[in-house]
Chain A
């Protein structure tokens, strides 16, 4: 999915690391990864360890890391937008202008990545990056523990006990779409984007599902 971008930036030495947050395992990511014919890294993260370590709450999200291994842009939406919330659910289509705005946002994000790869533009100074680090509370820490144990128990077929932990994780960390949607997917493939998902999205009201990345110079 990132091969076009990679072919444009690889001469700068920049690497792309694509992480599949996939608790059902590698086989569920295989078809997309093989279709991408990727020269960059495509890794499988059944435990959602990367989301845990970096405090990511949705997919797709990205982190930019510089040559010294420093975070220069904390987790942010990778060019996706909320236009899908206005989609016609019967036909699963978006208005042409929404489709256009959605594509433009994706292109703008990829352009920003390319500019950073080439010139370092859009890298945040440390104090600004620090201010944008994700929320960190005792409930969130506890939620990650429940999520991990739930995923492990699920893999062992201990479904009822697993689901109690997965539900507790979402209760403690309601902002994590990763936790809620992965748990729904483990219950049944497709449930992560089924009616319960749409109800949850509607309940956001004015809050964004994909907060737009902020490229205001700091």
Chain B
């Protein structure tokens, strides 16, 4: 199994030749769906250069670099970090819509920021260190 880390969380996939994965696993790990017109998420489709997808599999590392995002992997190739690039960060914050996240409390219960829509939120970070 190969682990993919994204800003959505962690996913386990069956990868071959680096980070070539099935379309279904690509979607589960990244939210991007393989369609005839390219890789699509929300209203956006990105055409794929030839060779990036074939036989229902996508080279996710190549696709991620094609999007202009950072891609890192461990020495053993068993974990891949699909990061968020400058353009995606600009797009996420410039509209001033607060990026959503879901995180657990001490008991492990997940809480989504978006469920507080309709209320003001004072979002404050801290740390023990």
- Chain A interfacial positions (CB closer than 8 Å to B): 1-2, 5, 9, 12-22, 24, 26, 28-30, 32-34, 41-45, 49-56, 59-72, 78, 113, 116-117, 126, 129-130, 133-134, 136-138, 140-142, 144-146, 148-149, 152-153, 158, 161, 165, 178, 181-182, 184-185, 189, 192-193
Contacts and interface: CB of A to CB of B under 8 A. Distances in A.
Contacts of B43: none
Given A50-B103, A53-B101, 15 more contacts: A5-B122, A16-B124, A18-B126, A22-B128, A24-B128, A26-B108, A52-B7, A60-B126, A61-B124, A71-B96, A130-B94, A133-B93, A149-B74, A149-B79, A184-B129
B84 interface: yes
A106 B101 CA distance: 27
Query: Majority SS of interface residues in chain B?
Result: mixed
A140 to B, nearest CB: 8
B93 A26 contact: no
Contact of A136 (B90, B97, B101, B121): B90
Contact of B124 (A34, A67, A78, A130): A78
B76 to A, nearest CB: 9
Contacts of A21: 125-127
Contacts of B122: 2, 5, 9, 14-17, 62, 64-65, 113, 117
Interface of B: 3, 5, 7, 10, 69-72, 74-75, 79, 81, 83-86, 89-90, 92-94, 96-99, 101, 103-106, 108, 111, 113-114, 116-129
Nearest to A44: B104
B79 A17 contact: no
Nearest to B75: A161
B79 A69 contact: no
Nearest to B85: A141
B86 A193 contact: no
A72 B97 CA distance: 9
Contacts of B114: 69
A41 B128 contact: no
A9 B69 CA distance: 40
A153 B89 CA distance: 24
A63 B94 contact: no
B126 A1 contact: yes
A103 B114 CA distance: 33
Nearest to A139: B86
A128 to B, nearest CB: 11
B103 A44 contact: yes
A70 to B, nearest CB: 5
B126 A59 contact: yes
Given A59-B126, A141-B86, A30 B116 contact: no
Given A44-B104, A141-B83, A61 B125 contact: yes
B120 A22 contact: no
Given A45-B103, A153-B74, A69 B98 contact: yes
6 contacts: A14-B120, A16-B121, A17-B111, A71-B97, A78-B124, A133-B94
B125 A60 contact: yes
A130 B97 CA distance: 11
Q: Give 5 closest A-B pairs by Cβ, nearest first.
A: A145-B83, A185-B129, A192-B129, A145-B70, A43-B103
